[in-house]
Every structure is written in structure tokens, then in C-alpha cells.
Amino acid sequence: MKAYLISLFFVILFLGCKKNDIEKIQFSSQNRSNFHFSDSLISNYTRFNKSNNKIFKSISDDGVYLYSWQERNPETIEFIVISDSEIETGHSMYYFILNKSNEVISYQHIANYGREGTYVFDLRSQLIGNDTLILTFEQTEWWDLENNKEYSNPIIKQKQIKTMLIDRDNTFRKM
């Protein structure tokens, strides 16, 4: 009877433990420094593990795909996720920084790929060193409405480069 009660205690203890659904082993890659949507990534990201953790509600109601576990700072939990709201914004990538209690410190939109009408929108970024994120945005006109065909040389309408720093408090800040 005593062994039964001890076993029952451990089963209840085990079932009562809240499992964190964000773990390093679930991510498809590690320590990425270049963030963009290649044709291969667009074709394959839906095969990655998916999470519906409540911390992602601000970017997606349908959950996110776990892309890259980042080991930039041993004092934090950091990772990249992919959200696919193709109807609104296309494919998006976000860099999350959490404290050791799994609370969000900050997150940043770091990559995006989408089409609307005759335009392609492409946001890419690169992590340089331990604290600098360079973001490049291009808006490209790819369809010739007048001749109803794809341009052989797409026209870049807008290009911006923005630099972000990851501060000592682990938040993203524009330079």
C-alpha cells in the first residue's frame, strides 16, 4: 500500500507540472545570423514544429513555427519563429527574447516576404556581433500592368536600411 501511495504521489506530481512548450530541441535550426525567406524556407517551414503558446498571441492567432534557437545571451531564452498570415502580411519572422521565467522581455519583426498586387515586399535582416541587427526593406514592382506580363528586370521602388541594437536590458532599440 505504501509503494502504491508513493507511486500515486509521483504520478500526480508529474501531471501537475506545467510543461514549457518552448524547448531548444523543438527548433529546426540553431544560431542563425541571416534572416530572410528563401524559396526553400517558404516551401518547407510548415514542416517545422508549431507552437500555440500564449506569448505568440500578439503576432498570430493560429500559432507559429519554431525556426531557430539562438544562444546569443546565456541569461535569456532567445529564438526565431515564423508566422504565416499570407492574406494580410505574407510570411513573417520574429526574434523573441524571454527571461528565465519564460516571460517576454521583447520581440522584433526581423523578416517578411509577401506580395500585394504588382509589388513584392521583402524585409531581411542580419545579426552582426552580439547586439546589432541590420534590417533591409525592399519594395519591388514585379508586374508590368501596361503589357500584362512579369518585368524581366523588376523595378525597386523603395529601399531602406535600419539598424537596431539589442540593449543591455535585452530590448530592441532603433539607432
In a domain, 2, yes or no: no
pLDDT of the residue at 89: 63
What are the b/e assignments for 68-106, b being 16+ CB within 10 Å?
bbbebeeebbbbbbbbbeeeebbbbbbbbbbeeeeeeeb
Question: How crowded is the C-beta side of 67, counted as CA atoms within 13 Å?
Answer: 27
Q: Which domain holds residue 101?
A: 21-174
The answer to the question of residue 142 being in a domain is yes
Number of independent structural domains in the chain: 1
**pLDDT for the residue 144:** 80
Residue 102 lies in a domain: yes
Q: Looking at the domain assignment, is residue 130 inside a domain?
A: yes
Q: Which one, of 120, 152, 117, 155, lies nearest residue 137 by Cα?
A: 120
Look at residue 8 and tell me if it is in a domain: no
- Residue 49 in any domain: the answer is yes
113 within 8 A of 91, measured Cβ to Cβ? yes
- The per-residue pLDDT for 17 is 36
Q: Can you give the pLDDT at residue 21?
A: 56
Q: Is residue 3 in a domain?
A: no
Task: List the pLDDT tens digit at each of the 175 positions of the chain.
Answer: 545 434 433 333 333 334 455 889 999 999 999 999 998 999 999 999 999 999 999 898 889 999 999 999 999 999 999 998 755 568 999 999 999 999 999 999 999 998 777 888 889 999 999 899 999 988 888 778 788 888 888 888 778 888 999 999 999 998 8
Q: Is 168 inside any structural domain?
A: yes
Place of cell 525556426: 67
The beta-strand segments (E) located in 23-175 are 29-30, 34-35, 50-51, 64-70, 77-85, 90-98, 104-116, 119-128, 132-144, 149-166, 172-174
